[in-house]
Amino acid sequence: MPLTDLKSVPEPVVQTAELIGHLDEVFESGFGRLSSANLQTLASLAASFAGTPLAEPLDAAIAGLGRSEFVDRHFAVIAGARAAAHGAMHDALVAQASAALGRPRAELEALANTPGQAAPPRAAVLLESVRQWLMELAIAGFANLEVGALLPFQATLDAIMAEPALVRHAALLSGFLDELLTVFPAHGKPEVPRLRWVDLWTRSMVLSLAPPAPAATREVKGELRVFATDLRQHDHVVSLVAFGALHEAGKPARVVRTSVSAFKVDVLQGDDLAGLLNEVGGKLLEAIAGGQGLKISGMLLHATGDLVWQEARAEVLPAKLKLAEEAAAVLTSPTALRPSARPEDRHPAVVEELVWLPGDGYAAVGKEARELSLGGQPFPVAFERWPSSDDLVAADIAGSKGLVALLRFDGGRWSLQPVMIDKGKPVPRMVGTGLQAGRGKAKGGNLATLKERAGKLLRKKS
Amino acid sequence: MLPRARKVQKVPFVELYAGRLQGVVSSGSDEERVYVSYFEAGTGNFYCSTNNNRPCGGLRGSPCKHLIELINEGVLQYGPARVIAYLGLQQAEPDKVKTGAELVRFIKGGPHKVEAGMVFSRFLTYLQYVSVAPTGVPLPDMAWFVR
């Protein structure tokens, strides 16, 4: 498994990143005052889409923006083009990684459209408000934002949070607004993380183009064995993502991904997260902490290999599993049906290819393990992704008997993010194993205090 | 063990927002009463009142005990460096500051009334987040938030 083949990055990926970098300069200074250099950048963007379905709309949008026609459809096209460029980078990187790992590229499972509830009419109006706000940000430019342009969006966001069909939007937009408000109002020249903010802007715009349509899913029945986890959070949302092997009768075992998420506020951390997640995924937490399997029946699986977690359809099984063996078995030569991203969500930042490294295949380099030595060749560790909890730490790598990592592409290079480390103990090291213990402790903590206040005050208000 | 944030019992809400360090402080004597307090960046002005806009009795030209509690919790939550930078307290040295109370001497403004409702409605928005139902649906965009 020559992961070390991933030292170089395909040339088209590098060139596309450069093109996007120039486009992002326009977002920093703003579409409201396009310089001749900005117009040239937009023209070269249009040129690189020549012969694609986006060519004509892009020409029209750029011409319109050049005439200061500030309408959301022009910005939607720019967002679409930028997302498409990142999608192409994603696909090229996944192809490179799959070749290096000697496995087929992940595919979306072919599923028949399932009838589901369409988003309520209100969703369309809220998303129009989102596009309007995003357009204002782009016209002003990220370097020139005024806090007065940011604060009114909170009211729209409140309404989005109250609409269950828009939960994805609420999670993304609350995180984006948090980051903008961390920098603004700025004293002097603001520090703008340009690439990141334009990425979040683009994601928000693409996600807000139309109300979410019901996704194609199928019901699954079988046993889920979670062998790796990742905790993702910003001030207002926490999401525990679990990767596991799904055993269905008459089918080869495959890798799936599931998640439980909760809205929160900044002071809710540590044990309080257990209290938040317990409500929606108590059985999942229990199985993770105990190294046990889950019998599931009638849960919905998306084409991307994402399982919609439903507590009522899960049952924790008593047997303790050998999760390292489980991971090794399903990850050594995985099928094409494994977690992936929908075309509109693709971006190098969402590449997460699961790999199993046997204990004799790697060694930690240095005390901090900023690199792994793979058969003598150094390979970067995604150091910034170690969780802040101590149920998975860099020191666990030394003397371990095997590990599961997510192969990631960030900052222009490949790296490995360990998400499960086998220390030869019954339960492997992974994020979330400590949360189970926190479920009881959370009583009387910050969560309970704030919930009590919310119960009193929000009732009074309405 | 996981890291533990500050306790919210005394100061349920503190934030750096719209150019102010602002928040809600529980009354020491009356369980039902809360104080709404703020420090403004730049001017160094501050104020403290009940959420019904009754001025705090402790506010006599200098910050009252609620304001001290607010800035203490603000420093716990955001760290001295961020609070100092946000409020524009150029004279303060982040490395030497242990509690928010030590920052009060750098605050040059005086009492300046704002409507408590402005801050209080932020508190209600804040509480709304803990009232939204958790979910088991995939949230692929959370992959963007690494911490």
Q: Do B139 and A308 touch (CB under 8 A)?
A: no
Nearest CB to B129: which of A199, A264, A277? A264
Instruction: Tell me the residues of chain A between 350 and 379 that have a Cβ less than 8 Å away from chain B.
Output: 350, 352
Number of domains in chain B: 1
B125 lies within 8 A of chain A by CB: yes
Does position A154 have pLDDT exceeding 60, yes or no?
yes
Look at residue B89 and tell me if it is in a domain: yes
Interatomic CA distance for residues A23 and A41, integer angstroms: 6
Q: Are A20 and A28 in contact (CB under 8 A)?
A: no
In chain A, whose CA is at the least distance from the CA of B34?
Answer: A453
Does position A1 have pLDDT exceeding 90, yes or no?
no
In chain A, whose CA is at the least distance from the CA of B17?
Answer: A181
| Beta carbons within 10 angstroms of residue B4's beta carbon | 12
Please tell me the predicted confidence (pLDDT) of residue A445. 83
Look at residue B77 and tell me if it is in a domain: yes
Look at residue B3 and tell me if it is in a domain: no
Does position A411 have pLDDT exceeding 70, yes or no?
yes
Which of B51, B131, B135 is the best mutation test for A, with the most CBs of A within 10 A?
Answer: B135
Does position B2 have pLDDT exceeding 80, yes or no?
no
Contacts of B26 in chain A (CB under 8 A): none
Between the two ends of chain B, the Cα-to-Cα distance in Å is 17
Q: Are A352 and A407 in contact (CB under 8 A)?
A: yes
Which of B27, B70, B141 is the best mutation test for A, with the most CBs of A within 10 A?
Answer: B141
* Residue A329, token pair as written in the block: 């078995």
Q: Are A128 and A71 in contact (CB under 8 A)?
A: no
Nearest CB to B8: which of A167, A389, A446? A446
Does position A462 have pLDDT exceeding 60, yes or no?
no
Please tell me the predicted confidence (pLDDT) of residue A431. 94
Q: Max Cα separation, chain A?
A: 68
pLDDT tens for residues B110-119? 999 988 888 9
pLDDT tens for residues B18-60? 899 999 999 888 878 899 999 999 999 999 999 889 999 999 8
How far B81 CA sits from the closest chain A CA (Å)?
Answer: 13
How far B73 CA sits from the closest chain A CA (Å)?
Answer: 11
In chain A, whose CA is at the least distance from the CA of B122?
Answer: A154
Confidence of residue B1 (pLDDT cuts 50, 70, 90): very low
DSSP states of A53-71 as a string?
TTHHHHHHHHHHHHTT---
Nearest CB to B127: which of A167, A385, A453? A453
Q: Do B145 and A175 touch (CB under 8 A)?
A: yes
Between A178-187, A280-289, A394-403, the lowest mean confidence (pLDDT) is in A178-187
Does position A461 have pLDDT exceeding 60, yes or no?
no
Q: Do A257 and B145 touch (CB under 8 A)?
A: no
Q: SS3 for A209?
A: coil
Look at residue B5 and tell me if it is in a domain: no
Q: Do A267 and B77 touch (CB under 8 A)?
A: yes
pLDDT tens for residues A102-151? 999 999 999 988 777 888 999 999 999 999 999 999 999 999 999 888 99
User: Measuring CA to CA, how many Å separate A27 from each of A34, A42, A61, A195?
Assistant: 10, 11, 15, 10
Does position A188 have pLDDT exceeding 90, yes or no?
no
Please state, for a pLDDT cut of 70, what percent of chain A lies above it: 97
Does position A50 have pLDDT exceeding 50, yes or no?
yes
Interatomic CA distance for residues A221 and A338, integer angstroms: 17
Distance of CA B21 to the CA centre of its chain: 5
Look at residue B64 and tell me if it is in a domain: yes
Half-sphere exposure of A208 (CA within 13 A, CB side): 29
Which of A156, A207, A237, A313 is the best mutation test for B, with the most CBs of B within 10 A?
Answer: A237
Average pLDDT of the segment spanning B14-21:
93
- Burial status of residue A174 (CB atoms within 10 A of its CB: 0-12, 13-18, 19 or more): buried
A267 lies within 8 A of chain B by CB: yes
Q: What ipTM was predicted for this assembly?
A: 0.95
Q: Are A182 and A197 in contact (CB under 8 A)?
A: no
Please tell me the predicted confidence (pLDDT) of residue A367. 87
- Measured N-to-C along each axis, helices A72-101 and A55-66 cross at an angle, to the nearest 10 degrees, of 140
Between the two ends of chain A, the Cα-to-Cα distance in Å is 60
Please tell me the predicted confidence (pLDDT) of residue A271. 82
Q: Do A262 and B137 touch (CB under 8 A)?
A: no
Please tell me the predicted confidence (pLDDT) of residue B3. 44
Where along chain A do its domains lie? 3-110+118-207, 215-462
Interatomic CA distance for residues B62 and A130, integer angstroms: 42
Q: Are strands A306-308 and A254-263 parallel, antiparallel or unpaired?
A: parallel
- The kind and range of the H/E element at A295 are strand A292-302
A447 lies within 8 A of chain B by CB: yes
Nearest CB to B128: which of A158, A168, A308? A158
* Residue A364, token pair as written in the block: 């930690």
Q: Do A449 and B8 touch (CB under 8 A)?
A: yes
Contacts of A306 in chain B (CB under 8 A): 138, 140
Q: Are A119 and A212 in contact (CB under 8 A)?
A: yes
Nearest CB to A181: which of B17, B135, B141? B17
pLDDT tens for residues A313-333? 999 999 999 999 999 999 999
Beta carbons within 8 Å of B93's beta carbon, 6+ residues apart = none
Please tell me the predicted confidence (pLDDT) of residue A439. 66
Which 8-state DSSP code applies to residue A436? H
Q: Do A310 and B124 touch (CB under 8 A)?
A: no
DSSP states of B108-141 as a string?
---B----HHHHHHHHHHHHHHTTSPPB-S--GG
Instruction: Tell me the residues of chain B between 50 and 79 that have a Cβ less than 8 Å away from chain A.
Output: 77
Interatomic CA distance for residues A332 and A1, integer angstroms: 9
Look at residue B71 and tell me if it is in a domain: yes
Q: Which domain holds residue B45?
A: 13-126
Average pLDDT of the segment spanning A428-448:
80
* Residue B106, token pair as written in the block: 């750098």
B143 lies within 8 A of chain A by CB: yes
Of A392, A252, A223, nearest in space to A318 by CA: A223
* Residue A422, token pair as written in the block: 């086998």
